[in-house]
């Protein structure tokens, strides 16, 4: 790969023919039509938050360097932005009047409202640009390793870059498009940001059973995303039909895995909802996110709920009482050892060798207070399992 350093291209040059697509949230073209600002493997523009975009303009006005920018040469006199698209889109949008900055006296100023020397300063700022020439795979490989300025690409953004092609383009139209009316519904079950590819990531994780890059590379040149979409829809439809309630703890659960494990079982949504309400109201259930798999699995595995345990003072006082009584009777202070037939029949365990156990299991309505607490040796406690 060959790189050439250019320091003669100015903000004004780039802004000539600058096109920003508000709908797609993308800076599209600049440099009199010779530059593609956001090739399909680039993430959407995420600086439009009134902070990062404003910071770019502040830097220029203060004469701070904007950092290195990388273009790839795709044809004679045709370039694509490899790194720097967020910064370029920020000054492009400012110069074309898309947002304002606040001046020293607190007044918002659009580009057209700036003093002419300030306008001039912005336009005449020259950029430090490396122009790279090489094969697609060389450039993609290199792109993977630069991650230079601003926010580093996250995992899915990198995968989109590496597997760029018709499949990624279509998948992004569906799952990375904040204009998609379904996002609202999906956001009940999926966490993260649409623009930073978290929804696409989730959809790919589900359909690929966790092998995202393998899936993307096999489907790279597909001109449709039918399977991805159908699988995603099946999972969402399944969750929303089993659980009619929508709770914030549902967001970001591994619904794809749960679907694989449980979608062949049948559930009565009303019974599920009643059980769910009951567990949400249960003081002893510490892990509300675990409620969903607990219910799907038939309310058996209470480990998923992380049931509130006995506190130290309770354990100590129960231990003392139990041990005193056991000494008097000449038996083990573990009630299960005491009725056994081995050498532990009369053994007095230390507090550190014992664990607290619910006499009546939590799942059978037992409470976590001293009247329902007994100390068992670790072996017997583990064997009893169900707390």
Enumerate binding residues for Zn ion (CB under 5 A). Answer: 334, 336-337, 377, 380
Smallest separation, CB 358 to Zn ion (Å): 16
If the CB atoms of residues 250 and 375 are measured against Zn ion, the closer one turns out to be 375
Smallest separation, CB 351 to Zn ion (Å): 14
If the CB atoms of residues 322 and 372 are measured against Zn ion, the closer one turns out to be 322
If the CB atoms of residues 69 and 337 are measured against Zn ion, the closer one turns out to be 337
Q: How many Cα atoms are found within 13 Å in the side-chain-facing hemisphere of 4?
A: 9
Is the separation of the CB atoms in 3 and 130 below 8 Å? yes
If the CB atoms of residues 205 and 354 are measured against Zn ion, the closer one turns out to be 354
Smallest separation, CB 334 to Zn ion (Å): 3
Smallest separation, CB 145 to Zn ion (Å): 58
Smallest separation, CB 309 to Zn ion (Å): 19
Angle between helices 155-162 and 136-146 (to 10 degrees): 170
If the CB atoms of residues 107 and 325 are measured against Zn ion, the closer one turns out to be 325
If the CB atoms of residues 87 and 387 are measured against Zn ion, the closer one turns out to be 387
Smallest separation, CB 321 to Zn ion (Å): 17
Distance of CA 323 to the CA centre of its chain: 50
């Amino acid at each position: 790969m060959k790189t050439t350093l250019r320091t003669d291209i100015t903000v004004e040059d780039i802004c000539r023919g600058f096109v920003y697509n508000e709908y797609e949230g993308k800076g599209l073209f600049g440099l009199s039509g010779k530059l593609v600002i956001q090739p399909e493997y680039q993430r959407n523009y995420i600086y439009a938050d009134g902070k990062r975009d404003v910071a770019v303009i502040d830097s220029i006005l203060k004469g701070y360097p904007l950092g290195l920018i990388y273009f790839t040469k795709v044809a004679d006199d045709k370039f694509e932005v490899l790194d720097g698209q967020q910064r370029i889109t920020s000054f492009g949008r400012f110069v074309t009047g898309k947002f304002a900055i606040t001046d020293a006296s607190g007044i918002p100023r659009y580009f057209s409202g700036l003093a002419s020397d300030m306008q001039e300063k912005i336009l005449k700022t020259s950029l430090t640009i490396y122009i790279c020439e090489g094969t697609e795979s060389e450039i993609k490989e290199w792109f993977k390793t630069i991650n230079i300025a601003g926010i580093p690409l996250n995992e899915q953004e990198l995968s989109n870059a590496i597997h760029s092609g018709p499949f990624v383009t279509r998948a992004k139209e569906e799952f990375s498009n904040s204009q998609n009316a379904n996002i609202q519904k999906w956001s009940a079950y999926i966490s993260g940001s649409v623009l930073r590819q978290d929804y696409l990531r989730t959809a790919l994780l589900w359909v690929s059973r966790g092998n995202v890059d393998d899936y993307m590379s096999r489907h790279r040149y597909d001109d449709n995303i039918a399977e991805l979409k159908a699988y995603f829809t099946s999972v969402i439809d399944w969750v929303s039909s089993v659980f009619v309630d929508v709770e914030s703890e549902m967001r970001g659960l591994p619904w794809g895995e749960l679907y694989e494990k449980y979608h062949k079982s049948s559930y009565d949504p009303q019974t599920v909802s009643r059980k769910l309400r009951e567990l949400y109201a249960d003081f002893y259930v510490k892990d509300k996110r675990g409620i969903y798999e607990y219910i799907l699995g038939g309310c058996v595995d209470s480990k998923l709920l992380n049931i509130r345990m006995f506190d130290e003072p309770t354990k100590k006082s129960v231990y003392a009482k139990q041990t005193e009584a056991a000494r008097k009777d000449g038996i083990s202070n573990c009630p299960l050892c005491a009725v056994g037939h081995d050498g532990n029949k009369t053994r007095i365990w230390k507090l550190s060798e014992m664990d607290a156990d619910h006499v009546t299991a939590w799942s059978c309505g037992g409470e976590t207070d001293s009247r329902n607490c007994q100390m068992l040796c670790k072996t017997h406690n583990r064997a009893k399992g169900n707390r």
